[in-house]
Amino acid sequence: MRTVLGSVLFLFAARGLAASESKPDSRIGREVSIPRHLQDDEEFSIPLVDLLNYGKKLFMANLD
């Protein structure tokens, strides 16, 4: 019984691995709304108007 259960689990794992490898162009984690993010501490060196406009773009970004 233990061998059968191990075989079944192995087959499910192999099937999941094969399925994940067949979709290399996954949309998960892909960002297209904001092409460039601020670097660390960059918010202190840009004019306030530009920072507010950038924040507005972040807030209004389409996160499909």
CB 57 within 8 A of CB 28: no
Q: How confident is the model at residue 7 (pLDDT cuts 50, 70, 90)?
A: confident
The pLDDT of residue 14: 67
Say if pTM beats, i.e. exceeds, 0.85: no
Which tokens sit at 64?
């499909």
Residue that has been written with the tokens 């949309």 in this structure: 27
The Cα-based distances of 7 to 1, 10, 14, 27, 61 in angstroms read 10, 5, 10, 32, 46
Interval 10-21: pLDDT, tens? 776 767 655 555
The residue extents of the domains of the chain are 2-60
Kindly report, residue by residue over 33-60, the tens digit of the pLDDT. Answer: 788 889 999 999 999 999 999 999 888 8
The residue among 52 and 24 whose pLDDT is bigger is 52
